[in-house]
Amino acid sequence: MPRAAFLPELIWPYDSTTGDSHSVDRRDDPAGWERAAYADTPVTTQWDDGAHEGPDPGRVPTSSASMPSVVTRMLAALEVFPGARVLEIGTGTGWNAGLLAARLGDERVVTVEIDEDVATRARAALQGAGLHSEVICCDGRDGWPKGAPYDRIIATAGVREVPVAWLEQTRPGGLIVAPWGTHFGHEDALVRLTVAEDGGASGPFLSAVGFMKLRAQRLDWDLFDHHVGAYPGDAEESTTSTAWAELGERRLYGGTAFILGLLVPDCTHLVNERDGVTTVWFFDRTAGSRAWASVVFRPDGERATVYQSGARRLWEEVVRALEWWRAAGSPPLTSFGLTVTADGAQRPWLGDPAHPVPAVTVRE
């Protein structure tokens, strides 16, 4: 399945060295476009849910062709077999559905996409490749019950909760592969769940990935305005000996931030770097709470200054989570896994499902 056959003329390949995306238009630069189409990089194909027009990048990338090495990693994890029936959530360009359809037969693959224009393009691209898999425009949170039961469900948009509908629509023994993450930050991990007879599902995290999220499960970024009035106002001030690097943020997708998110419940963190000073913000997402913390790391190596406000001491929670993780031998992300119960509870574990990860909370 040629990836190029699924891409529009105007694309925004991601440059991993700068972290930026710049447009490439096939009509102006066919060779550059072809190079981008076959580079091992994600290619944004839509911004801002389609509201953005023109060659400049928009605000939020909302549809893309995923990075080819991640696509193949996910397909390998899916362990399809001849005759398997597969539901894909997040059609995007249709390339991944095309790969599955080419392997399994187009009638074995159904793919759902929330955006009408994106779905229409993907349907045309699949047909252009001689494939007639069903492309349904709907909210993938509900799966696609008409086509159930499936042997495999693969999500190519990130989730913060695996919907119960996906469990219900997968045969016992079937697999669900999805990028899963908490609200702590953007870092996700690929999870592979095996669906059990009791309607629940469980399985390991396989590797760190970054994905755009299901529309209803995106992070909202207005937390600062909602939580922080005067700064630092009446926040409690202290210092910390924990260094910024210990949070693992210098290595994108190193796994530490993902693991901290498993331990510190209902918390989002944001990083602000200016003039060599890194300020890390933490916000309590519990309904009604406006608790926040900020930690100011300066390049001089002095102890960082901590401000904490509200009923939770979020920075202390993060430090305790780090301590818990270290006491456990700093296990990598792949030592953790997830159980989703038949009623939808999401329970991360370490080692095996009998050892749930504790929720670390520190009150004022």
Ligand X SMILES: C[S@@+](CC[C@H](N)C(=O)[O-])C[C@H]1O[C@@H](n2cnc3c(N)ncnc32)[C@H](O)[C@@H]1O
- Using CB under 6 A as the binding rule, whether residue 141 contacts ligand X is answered as yes
Nearer to ligand X, 90 or 265 (CB): 90
Does position 214 bind ligand X by CB under 6 A?
A: yes
The span from the CA of 266 to the CA of 227, in Å, is 14
Label residue 285 exposed, middle or buried (CB < 10 Å: 0-12, 13-18, 19+).
middle
SS3 assignment, position 209: strand
Please indicate whether residue 21 is annotated as part of the active site: no
Q: Check binding of 67 to ligand X (CB under 6 A).
A: no
Q: Measured between alpha carbons, how far is 228 from 133 in angstroms, rounded to an integer?
A: 49
- For ligand X, the binding residue among 212, 295, 318, 350 (CB under 6 A) is 212
Site for ligand X in 245-284 (CB under 6 A): none
Is residue 214 within 8 Å of residue 140, measured between CB atoms?
yes
**Would you count residue 44 as binding ligand X (CB under 6 A)?**
no
Read off the tokens for 305: 């200054």
Please tell me whether residue 140 binds ligand X under the rule CB under 6 A. Answer: yes
Measured CA to CA, the distance from residue 95 to residue 70 in angstroms comes to 13
Phi, psi angle pair for 180, to nearest 5°: -125, 140
Contact 91, 97 (CB under 8 A): yes
Q: Binding of ligand X at residue 92 (CB under 6 A)?
A: yes
Residues 335-354 that bind ligand X (CB under 6 A): none
Based on the shown chain and the rule CB under 6 A, indicate whether residue 21 belongs to the binding site for ligand X. Answer: no
Segment interacting with ligand X, rule: CB under 6 A, options 77-85, 127-135, 139-147, 252-260:
139-147
CA distance 48 to 257: 26
Q: Which two tokens stand for residue 40?
A: 């091992």
- Torsion angle, CA of 261/267/273/279, rounded to 10 degrees? -110
| Interacting residues with ligand X between 147 and 206 (CB under 6 A) | 156-157
**Of the candidate residues 21, 44, 96, 294, the single one contacting ligand X (CB under 6 A):** 96
Judged by CB under 6 A, the stretch of 33-41, 90-98, 196-204, 340-348 that binds ligand X is 90-98
Among 104, 110, 118, 247, binds ligand X (CB under 6 A): 118
> Distances in Å between the alpha carbon of 337 and those of 188, 262, 353?
12, 10, 7
Report DSSP letters for 139-161, one per residue: -GGG--GGG--EEEEEESSBBSS
Cβ-based nearer residue to ligand X, 67 or 340: 67
Q: Could you say whether residue 115 binds ligand X (CB under 6 A)?
A: yes
By CB under 6 A, residue 90 contacts ligand X: yes
Which phi and psi angles does 24 have, rounded to 5°?
-130, 125
Marked catalytic residue, from 63, 64, 66, 294: 66
CB closer to ligand X, 156 vs 182: 156
The Cα 87–Cα 169 span in angstroms is 9
- Is position 133 an interface residue for ligand X (rule: CB under 6 A)? no
Give yes or no for residue 64 binding ligand X (CB under 6 A).
yes
List, by residue number, the catalytic residues.
Answer: 66
> Which residues sit at the interface with ligand X, rule CB under 6 A?
62-66, 89-93, 95-96, 112-115, 118, 139-141, 156-157, 212, 214-216
